[in-house]
């Protein structure tokens, strides 16, 4: 894993006046990200130790764990163990949070390798992260509006870090030669509208009537559809091109599939910081939900404000 500090990323964050502790946590995530990318690049190449494929065990979600899920989780944890400001670490892959130090100012929550079931087919995957203030030892159950930073690392055709710290959204590209993240774009703004929706239509018969009504509208209004099945890839496209990404409630999953604290909240924070919207649907903005459990799920409707509104008008 990258041992050196990503100097260019550090300099941008310092120039923005970010708190030293917060910078430390973000740099730890960035270091883990380049370590995860290196592991992904080596997948299938390690003689006798293939790192693709599923383990014989399931995570706290009951989902089959991929070997790389566990490796990514361990890389994140070890990066944070070296970070003085990290008080605790919570992950999709762990039932309980890991306490790191009593005097840390921040909590890091993550989906270490989102979309990992796509690795076998070389589709984009990502690390989603959320940074909360640590007013108390395990104050993980805070509304997403309290986040101090959030974003994702996208392992795709290039290695990207998308980061929001409360003053807009920045896009960094990882330079493999320099072992650093270079600022490529600042103040990303999600387009106000774009006739594109992104959801898994295989569940059409399972969606509530309002979603079916929205899809009938979209089909008749000339919308196009894109769905990678990897949240980081689908949200990143929505952030850059506009449109709406949905993972609604279904009869089988009445709270939806995506987890509030380390998938929906960070993505909602980024989307709102980029001028977009992020709603649970009937429950209102994602960032206003007060969590009751670490791994609770929520319906997700996020993207261009006008496109999110279009969905909500059909749910009413």
Residues lying near ligand P6P in the complex (CB under 6 A): 114-115, 117, 200, 229-231, 234, 247, 257
Contact between residue 285 and residue 278 where contact means Cβ atoms under 8 Å apart: yes
Closer to ligand P6P at the Cβ: 55 or 192? Answer: 55
Minimum CB–partner distance for residue 121 and ligand P6P (Å): 13
In whole angstroms, give the CA distance from residue 39 to residue 46.
Answer: 10
Closer to ligand P6P at the Cβ: 72 or 86? Answer: 72
Bridge pairing between strands 149-155 and 159-164: antiparallel
Closer to ligand P6P at the Cβ: 15 or 252? Answer: 252
Closer to ligand P6P at the Cβ: 34 or 230? Answer: 230
Minimum CB–partner distance for residue 92 and ligand P6P (Å): 9
Contact between residue 94 and residue 69 where contact means Cβ atoms under 8 Å apart: no
Closer to ligand P6P at the Cβ: 18 or 92? Answer: 92
Residue written as token pair 């929906």: 264
Minimum CB–partner distance for residue 194 and ligand P6P (Å): 19
Closer to ligand P6P at the Cβ: 229 or 254? Answer: 229
Contact between residue 112 and residue 40 where contact means Cβ atoms under 8 Å apart: no
In whole angstroms, give the CA distance from residue 13 to residue 4.
Answer: 16
CA 137 to chain centroid, in Å, comes to 24
In whole angstroms, give the CA distance from residue 96 to residue 98.
Answer: 7
How many angstroms separate the Cα of 121 from the Cα of each of 44, 47, 117, 151, 237? Answer: 12, 19, 8, 24, 19
Minimum CB–partner distance for residue 193 and ligand P6P (Å): 22
Closer to ligand P6P at the Cβ: 87 or 297? Answer: 297
Minimum CB–partner distance for residue 110 and ligand P6P (Å): 13
Minimum CB–partner distance for residue 112 and ligand P6P (Å): 12
Minimum CB–partner distance for residue 63 and ligand P6P (Å): 7
Minimum CB–partner distance for residue 229 and ligand P6P (Å): 5
144: which 2 tokens?
Answer: 């997403």
Closer to ligand P6P at the Cβ: 5 or 200? Answer: 200
In whole angstroms, give the CA distance from residue 128 to residue 265.
Answer: 10
- In order, the DSSP letters of 103-168 are T--EEEEEEEEETGGGGGGT--EEEEEEEEE-SSTT-----GGG-SEEEEEEESSSEEEEEESSS-
How many angstroms separate the Cα of 40 from the Cα of each of 53, 217, 277? Answer: 12, 40, 32
């Amino acid at each position: 894993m990258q041992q050196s500090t990503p100097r260019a990323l550090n300099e941008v964050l310092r120039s923005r006046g970010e708190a030293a502790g917060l910078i430390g946590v973000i740099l730890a995530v960035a270091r883990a990200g380049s370590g995860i990318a290196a592991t992904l690049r080596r997948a299938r190449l390690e003689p006798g130790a293939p790192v693709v494929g599923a383990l014989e065990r399931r995570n706290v979600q009951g989902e089959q764990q991929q070997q790389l899920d566990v490796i990514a989780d361990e890389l994140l944890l070890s990066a944070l163990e070296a970070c003085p400001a990290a008080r605790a670490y919570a992950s999709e892959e762990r039932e309980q949070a890991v306490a790191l130090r009593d005097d840390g100012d921040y909590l890091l929550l993550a989906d270490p390798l989102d979309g990992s079931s796509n690795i076998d087919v070389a589709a984009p995957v990502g690390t989603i992260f959320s940074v909360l203030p640590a007013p108390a030892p395990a104050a993980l159950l805070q509304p997403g509006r309290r986040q101090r930073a959030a974003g994702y690392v996208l392992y795709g055709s290039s290695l990207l870090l998308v980061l929001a710290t409360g003053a807009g959204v920045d896009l960094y590209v990882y330079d493999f030669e320099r072992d650093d993240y270079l600022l490529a774009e600042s103040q990303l703004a999600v387009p106000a509208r774009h006739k594109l929706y992104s959801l898994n239509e295989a569940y059409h018969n399972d969606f509530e009537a309002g979603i079916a009504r929205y899809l009938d509208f979209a089909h008749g209004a000339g919308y196009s559809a894109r769905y990678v099945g990897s949240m980081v890839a689908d949200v990143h496209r929505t952030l850059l091109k506009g449109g709406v990404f949905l993972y609604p409630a279904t009869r089988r999953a009445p709270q939806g599939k995506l987890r509030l604290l380390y998938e929906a909240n960070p993505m909602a924070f980024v989307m709102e910081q980029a001028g977009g919207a992020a709603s649970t649907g009937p429950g209102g903005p994602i960032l206003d939900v007060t969590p009751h459990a670490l791994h609770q799920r929520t319906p997700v409707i996020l993207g261009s404000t006008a496109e999110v509104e279009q969905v909500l008008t059909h749910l009413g």
